[in-house]
Homo-oligomer: A and B are copies of this chain.
Amino acid sequence: MLKLIAEDFIKVEHIETVLPLYQELVTKTKEESACLAYELYHDLKDPGHFVFIEEWPDEAALTLHTKTDHFTRLVPLINQYTRAKGQFTRMSPLNEAFNLTSD
């Protein structure tokens, strides 16, 4: 399983503009058959910092996601309002990463 943290840094004056775009992106992505989890969070300390926490079976599924109609339409629209480049952290669950058995 691929766990992804995807972070956007939005100019605060454009937060109201991106909210409906984010809502549509979350709703449509959750409808994708390969989407295991996809939630969007807002940083309590940095109002322009939006954090997606996502789960995909693998990188291939994530790549397919980035080629969907909703992604290719909405993400460029959202990216017009960013103050900094997005940050992406790809991760594995601890047990998978180190072949550990959980108690």
> Within the assembled complex, what's the spacing in Å between the Cα atoms of A27 and B102?
8
Stretch of A39-47, A64-72, A76-84 on the interface side: A39-47
> Within the assembled complex, what's the spacing in Å between the Cα atoms of A43 and B87?
13
Q: Is residue A92 within 8 Å, beta carbon to beta carbon, of the partner chain?
A: yes
The secondary-structure label for the interface of chain A is strand
Query: Is there an interface contact between A44 and B91, defined as CB atoms closer than 8 Å?
Result: yes
Query: Is there an interface contact between A94 and B26, defined as CB atoms closer than 8 Å?
Result: yes
Query: Is there an interface contact between A89 and B19, defined as CB atoms closer than 8 Å?
Result: no
> Within the assembled complex, what's the spacing in Å between the Cα atoms of A41 and B100?
12
Question: Which A residues form the contact surface with B (CB < 8 A)?
Answer: 3, 5, 19, 22-23, 26-27, 39-45, 49-51, 53, 89-94, 97-98, 100, 102-103
